[in-house]
């Protein structure tokens, strides 16, 4: 069975809405000289993924601004909470973060007392990562903000069925492409 594009988007009330230029373009006056033609660009999945991801990350930062957490830092805290006692390499690899960037990020989290590095008892060369009590508390507040502000708005924009379909397709790409 296949479904038409309009069927998939009906729940989000999408097709009726006329496309409008992004906030940034309008604010910076590009419209004055006429919008640029995106041409094939709007058909490129990589470009569309990047634009959507930037928008979602911007909103994430706004929603948790009181806690000063980036999306990547939030991912690390979530993963540490779910997988206590794992080492740096495992966490970095799972998140696809390069080692030097990950070490810098951990330095930041540790200096704010959100997580701690401890020597592994099995392998003295390896560092085990754990959340501190403060890390757990900040994570709990962040999860609440993300759920009630950020994800709730995305849900409203796309509709729960489309949101689930989107997540599934993104997972397929991440896993199999």
CB of 134 to a copy of itself, least distance (A): 20
Among 16, 39, 66, 111, interactor with a copy of itself by CB under 8 A: 39
Residue 112: partners with Cβ closer than 8 Å, 6 or more residues away:
134
The interface region with a copy of itself, picked from 39-47, 108-116, 130-138 by CB under 8 A, is 39-47
If one asks whether residue 140 binds a copy of itself (CB under 8 A), the answer comes out as no
Does an H or E element contain 111, and which? helix 99-111
Q: Please report, as residue ranges, which positions from 88 to 127 form the binding site for a copy of itself (by CB under 8 A).
A: 89-91, 93-94, 96
CB of 124 to a copy of itself, least distance (A): 17
CB of 73 to a copy of itself, least distance (A): 12
Q: Which residues pair with 115 in a beta bridge?
A: 131
If one asks whether residue 79 binds a copy of itself (CB under 8 A), the answer comes out as yes
**Cβ density class 106-133: b for 16+ within 10 Å, e for less:** beebeeeebbbbeeeeeeeeebbbebbe
Among 118, 137, 140, 171, interactor with a copy of itself by CB under 8 A: 171
**Cβ density class 63-97: b for 16+ within 10 Å, e for less:** bbeeeebeeebbbbbbbbbeeeebbbeebbeeeeb
CB of 43 to a copy of itself, least distance (A): 7
């Amino acid at each position: 069975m296949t479904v038409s594009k309009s069927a998939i988007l009906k729940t989000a009330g999408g097709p009726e809405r006329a496309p409008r230029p992004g906030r940034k373009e309008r604010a910076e006056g590009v419209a004055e000289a006429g919008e640029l033609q995106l041409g094939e660009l709007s058909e490129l999945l990589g470009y569309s993924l990047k634009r959507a991801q930037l928008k979602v990350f911007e909103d994430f930062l706004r929603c948790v601004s009181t806690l000063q957490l980036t999306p990547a830092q939030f991912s690390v805290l979530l993963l540490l909470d779910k997988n206590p006692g794992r080492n740096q390499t495992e966490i970095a690899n799972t998140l696809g973060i390069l080692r030097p960037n990950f070490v810098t990020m951990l330095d930041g989290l540790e200096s704010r007392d959100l997580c701690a590095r401890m020597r592994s008892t099995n392998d003295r060369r390896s560092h085990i990562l754990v959340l501190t009590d403060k890390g757990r508390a900040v994570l709990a507040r962040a999860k609440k903000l993300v759920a009630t502000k950020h994800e709730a708005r995305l849900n409203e924009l796309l509709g729960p069925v489309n949101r689930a379909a989107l997540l599934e397709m993104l997972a397929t790409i991440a896993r199999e492409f």
